[in-house]
Structure 1
Amino acid sequence: MVTIIKIGSSINRIINYNESKVTIGQAQCIGAGNYPVDLDRLNDRIKKRRFTQITVLNQSIKRNAIHISLNFSPLEDHSRETLMAIANTYMQRIGFAKQPYLVYEHYDAGHQHLHVVTTYIQKDGKRMHIYNLAYRKSEPAREEIEELFGLIKARGQKANNQLDLNPIAIKRIKYGETESKKAINLVLNYVLNQYSYTNFTELNAILSQYNLIAQRGSENSKTFLAGGLVYQILNQKAKPVGKPIKASILDNKPTLVFLENQFKENKIKNTEQQIGIKKIVNRYSIQSIALDELSPILQRSAITTVAKKDADGLIDELTFIDHKTKSFLNGDFLLKQLNENLEQRSQKAEVCFENRKAKRGKTIRQSF
């Protein structure tokens, strides 16, 4: 079993992410801990209200949400009863047995896995000690549970049996196929919870992969001056289509204020990951510096290249997205080299064209 623990700033956002998976048939809420009603009576309002009642007791803690995933080997297939027993045992072993929590089973990967939503604020308003939770409590709990339930152990697995932790991607939005607000909510629920974007360039780089863009408007526009933000669907040519949707009316309220807070938080965890991406990019850019050759090579390492060109066809913005670590790398360090190579290729192509043209003219003259 593999466990992953993430700390977040919005429990509602995490619940919305899991519920969006339920909506499209990729997940189901299979249990809850310390809720006043049975599972069959749990609705969205009750799920969120239980956490709100606790988190309001200590509003000085901004990052109060915990999102845990428990991942099993592709060779295992457990009943729902066993999955809930594992989840309950895990929560007890890490000291969260008295906390409210929701358990979702997801079906969007090649292995069984659970998502658990909880908080570390206690019913008296005090915070639990969660420093180094993964090492101090989660790892010992994982090992105990593997023995107790006879699970395939995470350590010592053969390479071909390693877990594939990459979920099936949310589909690209196609304007007119699904109601716009619903389609935008689904993409944002996934992207905003999974990726460590640190600015609008990075955020729009990943959103564009799903035919979506976040816009503040021009500096003199009413939206920009009011600190507003809208999301708009893109067509197959990356052009905005349909009516922009205000961030304030979307499920997760992904407003400018929220994003700016996320930018700050993500910069901290994105720094180390960028080093790894840059090593991969540099390794292949030495072999092939042309962007049309570099991009498909990086794609094999789950790195997407997003480039914007100016009116002259030169690259003026380049971003690398690592889908394994859900992080980003600014490609400015390659721009000069890539554009010089692009210009050289253009010049060579022009010379070849002129040579072919001259040769063709000479042939015509000789025929007369």
Structure 2
Amino acid sequence: MTTIDDLPIRDDLRGQTPYGAPQLDVAVRLNTNEHAFAVPQPVIEEMRKRLDAELSDLNRYPDRDAVALRTDLAAYLGHGLGFASVWAANGSNEVQQQLLQAFGGPGRTALGFGPSYSMHPLLAAGTGTRWIGSLRDPDFGLRADAAVAEIHRHDPDLVFLCSPNNPTGTALDPAVIDAVLGAARGMVIVDEAYFEYARSGTRSAISLLPGHPRLVVTRTMSKAFGFAGGRLGYFAADPAVVDAVQLVRLPYHLSALTQAAARAAVAQSAALLATVEQIKVQRDRIVDTFRGRGVQVADSDANFVLFRTADDQKAVWQAFLDRGVLIRDVGLAGWLRVTAGTETETTAFLTAAEEIL
């Protein structure tokens, strides 16, 4: 039987494995940072109306530039943005891939600070961009002086920052981003996939866009909007960045149905985001409970918590699974990550944790 090794794939892809979290049928799934609450019925009805309006024209290509959707997203973000400063694609992964296609590629480098989102180096590899993995502080924070030193050392073409960071949940001080912008000669991409879960008063990097044409802030509707199945990511940046990614985007990359459903979700953002505070309560409940039991956890501004395990994390992960609770082994020795779920799901997790930890 033919295997992948028998095919003439690129040498740098040999031995690699696809990205993916286990998809198992268990009672409590808290491993992929999905929003725990289902889409409310009024939002479903709004989506259904907008989708119905598109069905008779499916023989036609969708709006190639998704102008109406980008206009809605710009209004949601605020900060005086217009549609020309916003771009959308099938999830923030595709958005970031397009940025790497436009500004990375063979002979160019991208720098990130781990542990962080594991797709960033994979997207770099897929576009032929050499990945440089620097490290965060032992407490998973990132100091401005340390970040600037790494930029001066490696002189990358792109810098990836993640705030709140995945898998640790830590948010960046805007002063760190400002320092990185001052030191980097290339593009600076701030991944804000979990920003809606951040604590009150946390500033978005979007506030730094004026005067910084090399800054890009990526967002997603997969998390707080509960739109993971809809696959919609977007970024805010100088309009020139939008012009650049349109050189590499596939034609008609965003279907008419995706655009319609996403516009309905944005129009109903208040209803969709109404449960975010409940998720934050459960996140803080996990943190407080663990710290009360002497379990080390990382500070989190996201919808998940990274916690320390006394034993091998793979064995602990299996122990949770044996109790019907699926969490995430992110490959960080001695640590596991759990998504904050509903009150019932969180209780199930904490009950299992009391037995295991």
> For this structure pair, what is the TM-score category when the shorter chain's length is used for normalisation?
under 0.3
Kindly name which structure, 1 or 2, has the bigger radius of gyration based on alpha carbons.
1
Bigger proportion of residues as strand: 1
Alignment TM-score, normalising by the size of structure 1:
0.21
Larger RCO, structure (CA 8 Å, separation 6 or more): 2
